[in-house]
Amino acid sequence: MSMDRRSLFAATALGALAAPGLAAAQGAAPTAQAPGFYRLKVGAKTVTVVHDGFAPRPNILTGFVRNATPEQVEASLRDSYMPLPGLDIPFTITFVQTSSGLVVFDTGTGNQLGAPTAGTIAANMRAAGLDPAAVTRVVISHFHGDHITGLTTPDNTPVFPNADLWVPEPEYAYWMDDAVMSRAAEGMRGAFQNVRRRLGPYAAKTERYAAGAEVAPGIRAVATYGHTPGHMSFTVEDGGESLMILSDVTNHSELNLKNPGWHAIFDMDPVLAEATRRRVFDQVATDRLRCIGYHFPFPANGYVAKTEGGYRFIPATWTAVV
């Protein structure tokens, strides 16, 4: 009996699948992604964004947006092909190599906020060749826990031992005010205490900066209040090129950017936060300014375009070479 070529290939494939070693190998397929870092240039400055993992929200439809119904949130996110009802909220840390040293903007979760999927910054820094000891300055945008907890280890040892710390003056004034803390809701007391704990080891080398200050060569602070009382964003300029580090002007790009009038639960002054969003996104859209969003899908950088009802995020083209 003769066997044609198609039958021979089929028999060979079936035999291979039946091999125990191959079956075991197929059952142990790797699941890890590539290391979470990405580099880009602003003039001569090298900018590296580093993924600090994500916090999964099992149900984004209820309780996250104050002034939209679950049905409205579901319809908007479904239109963006987001998995529902949950949504992963990413964390992205930005490093900028300047003429005076390596500067990091915010520090992430420090793997200390209870989300096992967060806290990957240390491993991703190693993969990117970034040494915490080489960081010369830490610039904080605001004092929420997912931005400052990575300042120290669980035993409160500084993660960036050779860096000075720059914090927003109005943010510091609010969170370090004992009278404000005493009036805060019980559920907020831990946030005030976390600020004192994380900033403590850097007290001798902490600088408070105001809006408009040059926090590093070619990098200026921009007042973007509302998310918190002293929230700051940053413009990075070099060689005629510009970039904006948005910080938390918006949360996930398919939430408050697409729907700038939505008030997220983490915005401490939601009306002011909305006004800030609209002002900032009008600017970056008009100026075609590349931006980095702390909670945008990694690698979290791209452009903003105006739409009829709000804005949309356009990820920058991924490039293999910086």
- The predicted pLDDT at position 27 comes to 65
Q: Which residues fall within 8 angstroms of residue 7, CB to CB, at 6 or more apart?
A: none
Domain boundaries, the chain: 38-315
pLDDT, tens digit, 9 for 90 and up, residues 210-249: 999 999 999 999 999 999 999 999 999 999 999 999 999 9
Contact predicate 192/148, CB 8 Å: no
- The predicted pLDDT at position 221 comes to 99
**DSSP assignments along 6-24, one per residue:** HHHHHHHHHHHHH-HHHHH
Angle of helix 20-27 relative to helix 5-18, nearest 10 degrees, comes to 70
How many Cα atoms are found within 13 Å in the side-chain-facing hemisphere of 78? 9
Residue found under tokens 């964004």:
49
- The predicted pLDDT at position 33 comes to 85
Q: Just give the CATH number of 38-315.
A: 3.60.15.10
pLDDT, tens digit, 9 for 90 and up, residues 250-307: 999 999 899 999 999 999 999 999 999 999 999 999 999 999 999 999 999 999 999 9
Q: Which residues partner with 90 through β-bridges? A: 54
Q: 3-state class of 72 per DSSP?
A: helix
Question: Per the confidence metrics, is the pTM higher than 0.85?
Answer: yes
